Amino acid sequence: MYILAPSILAADFGNLRKEIETVSEAGAQYIHIDVMDGMFVPSISFGMPVIQSVRSCTDKVFDVHMMVEEPGRYAADLKAAGADLLCVHQEACRHLDRTINQIKELGMKVGVALNPATPVETLSCVLDQVDMILLMSVNPGFGGQKFIPYTVDKIKKLRAMLNERGLQTDIQVDGGVGLGNVKELMEAGANVFVAGSAVYKQDAAANVKAFLKIFEEA
């Protein structure tokens, strides 16, 4: 199944509830929430109080992308704020296995994210423990960047690794994803697509529907 996860980083924060309702009502399955700490990535975005205050405006999956050093420190608070799926960076966790287990024990789904320059083979030992792998297709920290083309080969390699083990784990792609390249990413083996600027520029509802149409036609 193909899933669209609009990134609210590109939304108008002054109207955040409305912006989430719009993409939710248009049919997006996930709401992608980018938390940045100013350490793992240069920028700071928002944290638990913001997530908690928008939790009541939709029942869609809150897909929280932690661009934060040692994100395990916040797992329980994120669960309390309403996170359903918690994605942590391999590069930010000194004890990745422990962090994965901690998230599962709290009753959330777990994803592991990789920066563009981190090879997919690094997840070899934990592949069967995670619900989703997030391949960053830009260097994390900012919306509106250009898609890094070598990500396509990483998607293909990761899907082959998963198939070899009989796993149907979700592969999410984040950064520079739009209506013009999503098909190629689907063909490469990804099935969850984050889109920030491609959704929130101009008519967000129409953009969501255009993505969903491409998914339906596949």
Interacting residue ranges for ligand DX5, rule: CB under 6 A: 7, 9-10, 32, 34, 65, 138, 140-145, 174-177, 194-198
Residue type, 212: L
Compute the least distance from the CB of residue 165 to ligand DX5, in Å: 27
What is d(CA 95, CA 99) in angstroms, rounded to the nearest whole number?
Answer: 6
Q: Which is nearer to Zn ion, 37 or 174 (CB)?
A: 174
Among candidate residues 38, 53, 45, the one with its CA nearest the CA of residue 7: 45
In terms of Cβ atoms closer than 10 Å to its own Cβ (0-12, 13-18, 19+), residue 76 is middle
Q: Residue 144 annotated as binding?
A: yes
Give Rg (Cα) of the chain. 16
Residue 174 is among the residues annotated as catalytic for this protein:
yes
Among 34, 37, 63, 170, the residue binding Zn ion under the rule CB under 5 A is 34
Residue 60 near Zn ion by CB under 5 A? no
Structure tokens at 87: 């994605």
Residue 89 near Zn ion by CB under 5 A? no
Q: Which is nearer to ligand DX5, 27 or 141 (CB)?
A: 141
Catalytic hit among 37, 63, 170, 174: 174
List all residues 6 or more positions away from 160 whose beta carbon is below 8 Å from its beta carbon: 189
Site residues for Zn ion, 145-204, by CB under 5 A, read 174
Residue corresponding to tokens 């719009």: 22
Chosen from ligand DX5, Zn ion, none, partner binding at 189 (C-beta under 5 to 8 Å by type): none
Structure tokens at 57: 């405006």
CA angle 215, 171, 148 (to 5 degrees): 90
Q: Residue 175 annotated as binding?
A: yes
Q: Residue 143 annotated as binding?
A: yes
Chosen from Zn ion, ligand DX5, none, partner binding at 175 (C-beta under 5 to 8 Å by type): ligand DX5
Compute the least distance from the CB of residue 86 to Zn ion, in Å: 12
In terms of Cβ atoms closer than 10 Å to its own Cβ (0-12, 13-18, 19+), residue 163 is exposed
Q: Residue 13 annotated as binding?
A: no
Residue 128 is among the residues annotated as catalytic for this protein:
no
* Residues assigned a catalytic role: 34, 174
Task: List binding-site positions.
Answer: 7, 32, 34, 65, 141-144, 174-176, 196-197
Task: List binding-site positions for substrate.
Answer: 7, 65, 141-144, 174-176, 196-197
